[in-house]
Amino acid sequence: MSSSIDSHTSQTWGGRFSEATDAFVQEFTASYSFDHVLARYDIEGSRAHALMLNACGILTNEELADIRRGLDQVETEISAGSFKWRVELEDVHMNVEARLTEIIGDAGKKLHTGRSRNDQVATDIRLYLREAIVSIRGQMTRLRTGLIDQAETYADTIMPGFTHLQVAQPVTFGHHLLAWNEMLLRDDGRLADCAQRLNYCPLGSAALAGTSYPIDRHLTASALGFSGPTENSLDSVSDRDFAIEFTSAAAITMMHLSRMAEEMIIWTSAQFNFVDLPDRFCTGSSIMPQKKNPDVPELIRGKVGRVQGHLVALITLMKGQPLAYNKDNQEDKEPLFDAVRTVHDSLMALADLVPAMKAKPDAMRRAAGLGHPTATDLADYLVRKGIAFRDAHEIVGTAVGLAEAEGIDVAALSLETLKSLSDAVEEDVFKVLTLEGSVAARDHIGGTAPAQVRAAASRARAALD
């Protein structure tokens, strides 16, 4: 490492040091290049802290007014891009404070009374994440609205339902889309829980033990819209479980988005041809002129890896840390910021895409007709006529064998053939063997009957707000 010739007095904590920080160490330990994202929240936190110090008689009215004016100017400079970030000031907190002092003089030096960067950063990230969750949930609501609208449009549209990716039983497309909505509803609940649990204010915990000034932590907390102050100063400055909890909820959400994306990718292939995605969400190939690739869903499927990686990074970052604050925690920001951006943008992309997705009912219907999808309905029919389910299963198995031998669907067997397998079979058997009959029969809550899909869609809509 090469030695820096910077003056050690340029650091805010330089007082007890006798040589300047090594230049590489300065770069290595600085975080302003990424934590500048927190500036807005840092300033908001400082405003609330100054307000509280004034209310408690620690800052004069004049000092408070100076600090407010100075913070406004710092905020303007940062948003205008004219703010000069200085590496020797390490992070967003010290950059903002140093500039404040440059602008207003001595009152700026008093802002840090009764606080530390440790409670400051723990507050900033909470404020940042609280707001990020609101905007992520906004995109989530857009996506869910699109799914519910489409479910209503396609409440009667029959498609094959799969298990093992083999045609199993017919379902409605609306029912399938509402399955996606259910996944997202739980994801949304996890985000809401996380936002509620993180909404306590660390300010006043100071470095780790609290502060000897006569502060009012309730006032600071309420000025910042927190539910209250955090309970324990050591815990407040050290744990990043709220960031881990968020990233975990984000990773689960991304896993769901990836499953949706995967189905869209399968559905748009020529082999399935179930849906059409508008050209504006697809791209072509530089060599194969006929190609229209589902890039947006593919990218979403690919981006899951990042968020799962960030979850592992954050939970690993935390696991070995003794109380209270350790510099390790500076590593929380980049994974968290990227998880926020990735889940937000992926939700946004799907929220744009889903309403534009067009089903191809004929192709879906043709596919639903492959693989004897109403065989279970035949067995259920026999059970209703008094045959035990296991015997019915056996009879239908034989019927499927006969149909296969003839190269037709079990629903296309003649009445005579069916009767030869069981004399319980009557003319009415063909009603249950149709695709419409099969879906309409599943007429209970959670079932695929069009009437149930419509009812479920309207409950899902009511749950949107």
- Active site positions, annotated: 164, 285
With binding defined as CB under 6 A, does residue 31 bind ligand ARG?
yes
Binding track, positions 76-105, relative to ligand ARG; x by CB under 6 A: ---------------x--------------
With binding defined as CB under 6 A, does residue 16 bind ligand ARG?
no
Which segment (41-49, 136-144, 308-316, 326-334) binds ligand ARG by CB under 6 A? 326-334
Query: Considering beta carbons, is residue 117 or 310 the nearer one to ligand ARG?
Result: 117
3-state secondary structure the chain: CCCCCCCHHHCCCHHHCCCCCCHHHHHHHCCHHHHHHHHHHHHHHHHHHHHHHHHCCCCCHHHHHHHHHHHHHHHHHHHHCCCCCCHHHCCHHHHHHHHHHHHHCHHHHHCCCCCCHHHHHHHHHHHHHHHHHHHHHHHHHHHHHHHHHHHHHCCCCEEEEEECCEEEEEEEHHHHHHHHHHHHHHHHHHHHHHHHHHCEECCCCCCCCCCCCCCCHHHHHHHCCCCEECCCHHHHHHCCHHHHHHHHHHHHHHHHHHHHHHHHHHHHCCCCCCEECCHHHCECCCCCCCCCECHHHHHHHHHHHHHHHHHHHHHHHHHCCCCCCCHHHHHHHHHHHHHHHHHHHHHHHHHHHHHHCEECHHHHHHHHCCCCCCHHHHHHHHHHCCCCHHHHHHHHHHHHHHHHHHCCCHHHCCHHHHHHHCCCCCCCHHHHHCHHHHHHHCCCCCCCCHHHHHHHHHHHHHCCC
Whole-number Å distance between alpha carbons of 372 and 457: 29
With binding defined as CB under 6 A, does residue 329 bind ligand ARG?
yes
With binding defined as CB under 6 A, does residue 117 bind ligand ARG?
yes
Query: Considering beta carbons, is residue 328 or 426 the nearer one to ligand ARG?
Result: 328
Query: Considering beta carbons, is residue 174 or 204 the nearer one to ligand ARG?
Result: 204
Q: For 181-207, give one letter per residue: b (16+ CB within 10 A) or e.
A: bebbeebbebbeebbeebbbbbbbbbe
Query: Considering beta carbons, is residue 329 or 438 the nearer one to ligand ARG?
Result: 329
Q: How many residues bind ligand ARG (CB under 6 A)?
A: 10
Query: Considering beta carbons, is residue 158 or 198 the nearer one to ligand ARG?
Result: 198
With binding defined as CB under 6 A, does residue 38 bind ligand ARG?
no
Which segment (100-108, 113-121, 149-157, 176-184) binds ligand ARG by CB under 6 A? 113-121
Q: Which residues contact 20 (CB under 8 A, 6 or more apart)?
A: 3, 4, 5, 6, 7, 8
Query: Considering beta carbons, is residue 91 or 152 the nearer one to ligand ARG?
Result: 91
With binding defined as CB under 6 A, does residue 46 bind ligand ARG?
no
With binding defined as CB under 6 A, does residue 239 bind ligand ARG?
no
Chosen residue from 52, 67, 121, 195 binding ligand ARG by CB under 6 A: 121
Residues 372-391 that bind ligand ARG (CB under 6 A): none
Residue 234 Cβ, how far from ligand ARG at the closest point, in Å? 14
Residue 29 Cβ, how far from ligand ARG at the closest point, in Å? 8
Chosen residue from 54, 150, 248, 330 binding ligand ARG by CB under 6 A: 330
Query: Considering beta carbons, is residue 115 or 360 the nearer one to ligand ARG?
Result: 115
With binding defined as CB under 6 A, does residue 238 bind ligand ARG?
no
Give the type of residue at 122. A
Residue 124 Cβ, how far from ligand ARG at the closest point, in Å? 9
Which segment (216-224, 303-311, 312-320, 325-333) binds ligand ARG by CB under 6 A? 325-333
Binding track, positions 143-172, relative to ligand ARG; x by CB under 6 A: ------------------------------
Residue 94 Cβ, how far from ligand ARG at the closest point, in Å? 8
With binding defined as CB under 6 A, does residue 118 bind ligand ARG?
yes
Query: Considering beta carbons, is residue 202 or 450 the nearer one to ligand ARG?
Result: 202
Q: How many residues are present in the chain?
A: 465
Binding site for ligand ARG (CB under 6 A): 31, 35, 91, 117-118, 121, 325, 327, 329-330
